[in-house]
Structure 1
Amino acid sequence: MAYDLKREDEVKEYIENLGIEYRFGCYKEKKPEVCHLLGDYLEAIKKDFEKAAKVFKSNCLDYNFGKSCLKYGNYALVGRGNIKGSPSEALPYFEKGCELNDPTACLHAGMILTATGPGINVKRDVPKGYNYLKKSCDQKDDMACHYLSGMYLTGVPKNVSDFNPHNPEKNKNIDYLIKPDKKQAFQFALKGCEYGNMYACANVSVMYKKGDGVEKNEEESKKYFTIAQNLQKAHETTKEIKFQQGLEK
């Protein structure tokens, strides 16, 4: 049946039928992809976050659908859908999503395990977190590559309280879980840039300019500075398009 989406009554009918179709595909045909779509439908169209959370959780645990593990992990992290929000609640779902090869789930698991500070109620495990971040970067997640670059740029101290960002000389004498390595930092920044991270491109530009982890090269520095600028402009344009979408008739 063809719907006239300019008519309000037909739009409502279309949306209701879409929900029926997704429920049938999920509950009767037991298709994980359709269950995930049902969760998205409940979230975006019905604004029923509690039901959406249940669908995502079930689809993660029962059908091993990585994207649903990521989605429920996000709910558990921020406390959406009548769930107690905390990193410890979210981490198992991000880890399962990562095992199911969702790169963003790997990113989130890695960031939680390597993070410090207030509100982080998960035991820090930098080696495990590093492996999650590396897997995410290997699957072309630009933010994971950028994050890894930052870890190598400053190093990851064994005791965070020993690290003083304003005293590089003192930092040379502390114990590191990951020692500063500008060559590795450059390589991960380069990967992040190749995958479209404007901050990684900006860092590559600076590293070429200073000769940090790579031989000084003014031309390459200018090249990556331009790439970073172009990515920033593209990002701003995309945001503007999304904001204006539907406003013009």
Structure 2
Amino acid sequence: MAFDLKNESDVKEYVEKLGIEYRFGCYSEKKPDVCHLLGDYLESIKKDFEKAGKVFRSNCDDYGYAKSCLKFGHYSFLGKGKASSVDKGDAKQAFQYYTKGCELNDADCCLHSGLIMISKTKPAIIERDITKGMEALTKSCKLNNGTACFYLSGMYISGVYKNDDAKKTTTPDPSEFAVQKDMKKAFDFATKACELDNIYACANLSQMYMKGDGIERNEKKAEQFKKKALEMQEALKKQQAELKFQQGLGNA
């Protein structure tokens, strides 16, 4: 049957049939990718976050579908759809699901689990483990998550102290660092992050080339990455302006 998507009744019928197809594909055919689509359908179309959360959790636990682990991790962190018994969310439960998703090679899950492990939040979500956090971020970067590559670059630019309460001096003892300052590694991670369109990494690369940090000084390269960062900034501004315009039309 052909649907006229300009006709309101046809659209409603199409949406209902889509839900039926997703439920059949998930519950009868037990297809993990369709279960994830069902979760997205319940979330975005039906606005039933509680049911969506249950689908994402089950799809992660029962079928090991990494993208559903990520979704339920977000639900847990935010306390969305009663995914948590804690009103403001359950960060420890979120970490569990991010970790599981990372083990299943989801780059975003590795990013979130890594950031939680290196986090300085008090009270801590989990016991801080910079080494394992770096491993998760490195895996995320290898899986082409530009944000993870950027964070790693930043950590190598400044170094990371083992103890946050350590007295910062101009000539700190290397043994005080969990991550030693290493501008060559910082440059390498910034390069990959910029290739993955992380605007901040491109700006940092420009500065590195200008100063000769981690790479031989090259003003031409510095200008090249500065230009790329500015072009990305303009594209982002345009995208945000279009989004605001579309939201305005929706409220008109």
Q: Which residue of 1 aligns with 2:239?
A: 238
Where in structure 2 are the equivalents of 1:1-249 lying within 5 Å? 1-82=1-82, 83=84, 84=86, 85-118=89-122, 120-162=124-166, 164=168, 169-172=170-173, 175-245=176-246, 247=249
CA distance in 2, matches of 1:43, 1:173: 49
- State the shift of 1:230 in Å: 1.2
- Letter matched to residue 14 of structure 1: Y
Displacement of 1:243 in angstroms is 3.7
C-alpha displacement of 1:233: 1.7
3-state SS of paired residue (2:81): coil
The alignment's C-alpha RMSD in Å is 1.7
Find the aligned partners of 1:2 and 1:107 in 2 and give their Cα distance: 43
Q: Which runs of 5+ in 1 are unaligned?
A: none
Which 4+ stretches in 1 moved above 6 angstroms?
none
SS class of match (2:178):
strand
The letter for the 2-side match of 1:106 is: C
Preserved contact between residue 174 and residue 180 of structure 2 (Cα < 8 Å): no
Answer yes or no: is the 8 Å Cα contact 1:22–1:37 preserved in 2.
Answer: yes
Cα distance in 2 between the residues matched to 1:108 and 1:199? 19
Which ranges in structure 2 are unaligned for 5 or more consecutive residues? Answer: none
Deviation at 1:176, TM superposition (A): 0.6
Q: Percent identity?
A: 51
SS at match of 1:38: helix
Tell me the distance in 1 between the aligned counterparts of 2:74 and 2:55.
Answer: 14
8 Å contact kept, 1:162–1:174: no
CA shift for structure 1 position 78 = 1.4
In the alignment, the residues of structure 2 paired with residue 95 and residue 176 of structure 1 have an alpha-carbon distance, to the nearest angstrom, of: 25
CA contact (8 A) 1:66 1:101 kept: yes
